[in-house]
Amino acid sequence: MRIKDKVAIVTGAGGGIGGAISRALAAEGASVVVADLNEQAARETCKSLAAFNGRFLSMKVDVRSEDDVKRLVDETVKQFGHLDILCANAGVSTIKLTVDATEEEWNFNMDVNAKGIFFCDKHAARQMIKQGKGGKIINTSSQLGKHGAPYFAHYTASKHAVIGLTVTLAQELGPYKINVNAICPGDIETPLLLREIPEIAKLRGTENSTIREELLKATPLGRLGKPEDVARVVVFLASEESDYVTGQAINIGTIS
């Protein structure tokens, strides 16, 4: 077990990529705090960890609230004694042409995807510095954190911000032996993507199958990713195998 006896927080862990990350960390020996705005979904993920050796806790957390995030870190330390790994994964998307996008949609993407990760990183880093034993921070960006795509201006901007934050924090926290990296998943078959496909098809006046075929053609391996594909990379970044890796934005399933 690569991260036995470590304590991890995973946000946006009620399903999809966050749920898979939670299970992968638990399988490698970590105790996991499952955080999500959807309290019932967080509880369901937590139940799925019962087969693993470790202690697990679910919490309702809105990452847009700094008070909520501070409470998440404080409760983790209260229950488990320390914090070793943060997977700041909570994210949202909305789809619209830039000229039609509203301020509310812009704020929604930026508040969850960028500000939420900032709050999580800030309070996890403070705790890790206080502990003096290093740590691992893993932020979820996206392939769109590196290039743009039609209909995703606000989402793309928020995911670029995650990479900028990651690179900056890696430099600031390096002296404390805290590694900070980002993951940039491609097209992963999650409820989020399955919602996006028909929305894009409607905007383009085409069929869902056409959008899906285009996604497959753009993927070198010829298939959509699975949440477990992402989770395996996160386990590497959470383990001592990545002790000399920091400030990176790692593609998963895509080349650029």
Catalytic residues: 155, 159
- In the block, which residue shows the tokens 């501070």? 70
179: β partners: 136
Give the Å distances, CA to CA, from 112 to 36, 65, 108, 207. 12, 9, 6, 30
Count of beta carbons in the 10 Å neighbourhood of residue 52: 18
Closest CA to 90 of 61, 67, 50: 61
For the beta carbon of residue 106, count every other beta carbon within 10 angstroms.
Answer: 17
Cα separation, 192 vs 104, in Å, equals: 19
Pick the closest to residue 97 from 229, 253, 204 (CA basis): 204
For 96, the 3-state DSSP assignment is coil
Nearest CA to 215 among 185, 177, 181, 247?
185
Contact 140, 162 (CB under 8 A): yes
Report CA-CA distances (Å) from 97 to 80, 106, 145, 156: 45, 12, 18, 12
